[in-house]
Amino acid sequence: MPIAITELGHQRAVPIELAAAQRAAGEQDRGRGLERVLAPLGPGRAWYTRPAMQRLDIELGDRRYPILIGPGRLLDRAALEATLPRGPLLVVTNATVGPLYLPRLRATLAGRTLAECVLPDGEQYKTLATLDGVFDALARARVNRDGAILALGGGVVGDLAGFAAACWQRGIACVQLPTTLLAQVDSSVGGKTAVNHAAGKNLIGAFHQPSAVHADLDTLATLPDRELRAGLAEVLKYGFIRDAEFLDWLDANLARLLARDPEALAYAIHRSCAIKAELVALDEREQGPRALLNLGHTFGHAIETAAGYGEWLHGEAVATGTVLAAETSERLGWLTSTDVARVRDLVARAGLPTSPPRIGVERALELMSLDKKVLGGRVRLVLLKSLGQAVVTGDYDDRALRATLEARVA
């Protein structure tokens, strides 16, 4: 419960006992990587627990880069400059995020050579044609190998800007500045960049690790509710595939996350990034355990492509795909009906869809056959042995997959 404080003009009237309690609480919070701050909440003010900056590092042999998580990341010039080269910069953003956060970033980096490329907003614009527009902006700004792209936005902006950085002059630096929950916990981390093709999602792309990820928690305040829920699909994924204890925490704290509780969001983002960092360090180019991160994605990408890019948000399709993966796992005898019911319940309580569109069995199988995990012509799936333990396998009974699709998409 926040501790209310009255205000008298420019001075705060704080009883001595309350001040002592605040100091004690602050010390306890800082021990947990938090800080207690005064923030406007309604007509007065109140203390709430504000996450302090946290750092994770992606370790890739002799290479590494930081993930910096916390409020005010877009205002921290020193931290940004420490991860930027000295040359010209191009900020790639979109028409929704740009008006909200470009002025802030521009002020923080005042004095730097900073050009801007503002894209239309939406998955339907994640195309080669849009990518060509980013190349035009890079040419106009004369960004060379001593420069960098800053990707300010969600997953579409991050994927597209990262791919542009991978291609331009055979590779320049890219710093990810994710502004959505989905981008902060998943797409900005790990170096997978791409654009879509009519035949399937993310079919044209490259692995290109960012120089850094700065996840500013303050940007989540302007995130539409639907986008917040879509991001929770990826957060739930980490519990399902790798961390049953985290899944239990999510089960108990979904309401706090949906209410945008700062402490709950900070913990969920940090834990999600820690799990992804571990898997990327083990398998940078997704030849092994990193593919576990694709739980729900083989089904989900088929849904997105069949429905038309932009009709379903990526997180919505992944959430439904996760339910289908759980149902297939049950048919294989790996999950119990109670496990599957829990998966459906968590997805539904996060405000996400649990039923796919009726795209047809053969259309679903056709789209799934273009999945990037296909090996030797066999569609490999990420399935659940238990809640908290996933496997990537092509060794499953085709009848189980077909039965799931016939029940759900026919």
pLDDT digits (tens, 9 = 90+) for 205-225: 999 999 999 999 999 999 999
CATH code reported for the domain at 54-223: 3.40.50.1970
Tell me, yes or no, if 192 is annotated catalytic: yes
The yes-or-no verdict on residue 97 having pLDDT over 90 is yes
Tell me, yes or no, if 197 is annotated catalytic: no
Residue of 50, 208, 294, 304 with catalytic role: 294
Q: What is the pLDDT of residues 297-314, one digit of tens each?
A: 999 999 999 999 989 999
What is residue 51's predicted lDDT score, i.e. its pLDDT? 72
Tell me, yes or no, if 301 is annotated catalytic: yes
Q: Structural domain boundaries of the chain?
A: 3-51, 54-223, 224-410
What is residue 257's predicted lDDT score, i.e. its pLDDT? 97
The yes-or-no verdict on residue 73 having pLDDT over 90 is yes
Cβ contacts of residue 68 below 8 Å, gap of 6+?
Answer: 53, 54, 55, 79, 212, 213, 214, 215
Tell me, yes or no, if 234 is annotated catalytic: yes
Q: What is the pLDDT of residues 304-358, one digit of tens each?
A: 999 999 899 999 999 999 999 999 999 999 999 999 999 999 999 999 999 999 9
Residue of 271, 301, 372, 373 with catalytic role: 301
What is residue 50's predicted lDDT score, i.e. its pLDDT? 62
Both tokens assigned to 52: 């302090």
What is residue 91's predicted lDDT score, i.e. its pLDDT? 98
Q: Which residues pair with 90 in a beta bridge?
A: 115, 149
Q: Report, at the CATH architecture level, how domain 224-410 is classified.
A: Up-down Bundle (1.20)
What is residue 49's predicted lDDT score, i.e. its pLDDT? 56
Inter-CA distances, 265 with 60, 63, 84, 158, Å: 27, 29, 27, 21
- Kind and range of the H or E run holding 140: helix 128-140
Tell me, yes or no, if 201 is annotated catalytic: no
- When pLDDT is averaged across residues 266-289 and rounded to a whole number, the result is 95
Judge contact between 24 and 18, C-beta under 8 A.
no
Q: What is the pLDDT of residues 361-402, one digit of tens each?
A: 999 999 999 888 888 889 999 999 999 999 999 999 999 999
Rounded to two decimals, the pTM is 0.86
Task: Report how far residue 32's alpha carbon sits from residue 85's, in angstroms, rounded to the nearest whole number.
Answer: 33
Tell me, yes or no, if 294 is annotated catalytic: yes
